[in-house]
A and B are shown apart, each in its own frame.
Chain A
Amino acid sequence: MLKVEGLSSFYGHIEALRAVDLRVRAGDITTILGSNGAGKTTLLRTISGLVPARYGRILYFGKDITNLRPERMVKMGISHVPEGRQIFGDMTVRENLELGAYLRYRRDPSSAIKKDMDFVFKLFPILKERESQVAGTLSGGEQQMLAIGRALMSKPRLLLLDEPSNGLAPKVIRDIFACLQQLHQEGITILLVEQDVQIALNIADYGYILRAGKIVLEGTAEELSQNQTIKEIYLGE
């Protein structure tokens, strides 16, 4: 579904990605693991067009989408839940979700958008309760749910998630990851960037380890969780 070939990009003057190759199969949860500063966020940002790619290309269903503007990516069904949630803090929960469907108002009937909003409210019932609350007053976990919900409102085929567990309590993380699994069952393909290796490998089908901007290891989630190096470095066993 998504294929990244020899991708390099820069963060300021630093080469944050060095010839990264990766593949996301339709229907899978693919995860990119690595420590802080490994280039995980830059990788997602390059895929969604926020950071320009210097070398290499990105193919989506075989079509070259390298360096298209972010809004074009959304139109094609790629939706990015950015690092730090980036919700519209001054707007209500409902307004945030409506903006998620920004490109669909001309295209889709309002009943379809309403249906998707109901789906988001079913997935995250707390958002329904907070519907008319200003988003900036939500807790961290609720903001993360809202960011995911907003991304879902564009009806994506591929969901890019940047560290949804970041800064959240273990119980909230479990809830959110259970929801990701549910989305996976609904047929949404997920590319998940995580620092928490354990929890990511629990739900993923396939994974890549990124270190200093390079893919150093890849394999199925099972292979990776059995891998001796990963056990030592990332799982602390």
Chain B
Amino acid sequence: MINFAQGEFAVFGGLLTYTFSCVLHIPILLAAVIAIICTAIIGALMERLFIYPLRNAQIINVIIATIGVSILLKALARLFWPEEAYKVPEFTSSSLTFLGVTQRSQTLWVFGLTLIAVMLTYIFFNHTRVGKGMKACSINREAASLVGINISNMSLYSFSLSAALGGAAGLINAPYASYGSGLFLGVKGFTSAVVGGLGNTFGAIFGGLLVGLIEELIAGFLQVVFGISSGYRDAITALILIVVLLLRPQGIFGRREGVKV
């Protein structure tokens, strides 16, 4: 299932971190943890209020409901954080030079924490009982309930977990957070997942790197050669999405849909 409110979780992760750290003056790491917990709670509420009541509906209706939730969350974010953008503090504010390239130290945090999140997610889905149950639910809900898995709880856990991960991504990644950026964060995530092959964890990571690189290279190329503003970079992502959906809808690592009878 695709959750189009995923980008909104990232926005909330960033905005909440801003409030906790810059307004309430909580140390940044603690502020980040609280923000992640809050985002997880938002995800859980979303599941109970909007997804759970649709548990017997067709999947397309549920997906449309997630679009509705994303609009709602965006409006809420705008209500509480009306400014165009908020500066989310970095974990450490030094910069470092490696092979002649100077980088913000935040880049290292992004890299390291992403790696840890990916490893934890992998371990969770493949080596823990609840994680395997969740995976079973995603493959076949009915069969999962017949082996004794409580599918309603699993849905709640998975929404909380993905909201927490989205929130974490939003707060480590964005130097700025704004109520309006959720949609394109979501589209970028979705594009990465589609490029790698929907449902394939490592495909999604690879897709993310690939989409980021392509976007950066094309935006840079357009700016240097034609003087076109890099503000068009979001359009590049959308273009990648369209091209992949047209030419290879199963993604790079995806298999074609097919059921053996």
On A, residues with C-beta under 8 Å from B are: 48, 50, 69-71, 74-75, 79-80, 82, 86-91, 95, 98-100, 102-103, 105, 136-137, 140, 150-151, 153-154, 167
Contact = CB atoms under 8 A, between A and B. Distances in A.
Contacts of B133: 99, 102
22 contacts: A48-B146, A70-B145, A70-B146, A70-B148, A74-B147, A74-B148, A75-B148, A82-B143, A82-B146, A87-B143, A89-B139, A89-B140, A90-B139, A98-B132, A99-B144, A99-B149, A102-B129, A103-B148, A150-B147, A151-B147, A154-B147, A154-B148
A88 B136 contact: yes
A87 B143 CA distance: 7
Which 9 pairs show the lowest CB-CB distances between chains A and B? A74-B148, A103-B148, A86-B143, A70-B145, A71-B148, A88-B139, A102-B148, A80-B146, A102-B147
Given A91-B139, A102-B147, A136-B260, 4 more contacts: A71-B150, A79-B146, A98-B132, A99-B144
Contacts of A99: 132-133, 136, 144, 147, 149
Contacts of B139: 88-91
B140 to A, nearest CB: 6
Given A98-B132, A102-B129, A86 B260 contact: no
A99 B140 CA distance: 12
Interface in B89-136: 129, 132-133, 135-136
Given A88-B139, A91-B139, A99-B136, A167 B145 contact: no
Nearest to A153: B147
Contacts of B259: 89
Given A99-B132, A140-B261, A69 B142 contact: no
A50 B259 CA distance: 23
Contacts of B129: 102, 105
Contacts of A154: 147-148
Given A99-B132, A99-B133, A71 B149 contact: yes
Contacts of A105: 129
Nearest to A50: B142
Contacts of B260: 89, 136-137
A229 B149 CA distance: 43
B146 A88 contact: no
A71 B150 CA distance: 6
Contact of B261 (A50, A150, A167): A167
B132 A82 contact: no
A163 B140 CA distance: 19
Contacts of A86: 140, 142-143, 146
Given A82-B142, A91-B136, A100 B147 contact: yes
A43 to B, nearest CB: 16
A69 B150 contact: yes
A236 to B, nearest CB: 26
A69 B148 CA distance: 9
Interface in B51-91: none
A93 B140 CA distance: 15
A167 to B, nearest CB: 7
A69 B143 contact: no
A80 B147 CA distance: 8
B135 to A, nearest CB: 7
Nearest to B146: A80
Contacts of B136: 88, 91, 99
A160 B260 CA distance: 24
Nearest to A72: B148
Nearest to A104: B148
B133 to A, nearest CB: 6
Contacts of B146: 48, 50, 70, 74, 79-80, 82, 86, 151
Contacts of A82: 142-143, 146
Contacts of B132: 95, 98-99
Contacts of B150: 69, 71
A167 B260 CA distance: 12
A194 B260 CA distance: 22
Contact of A91 (B135, B142, B148, B261): B135
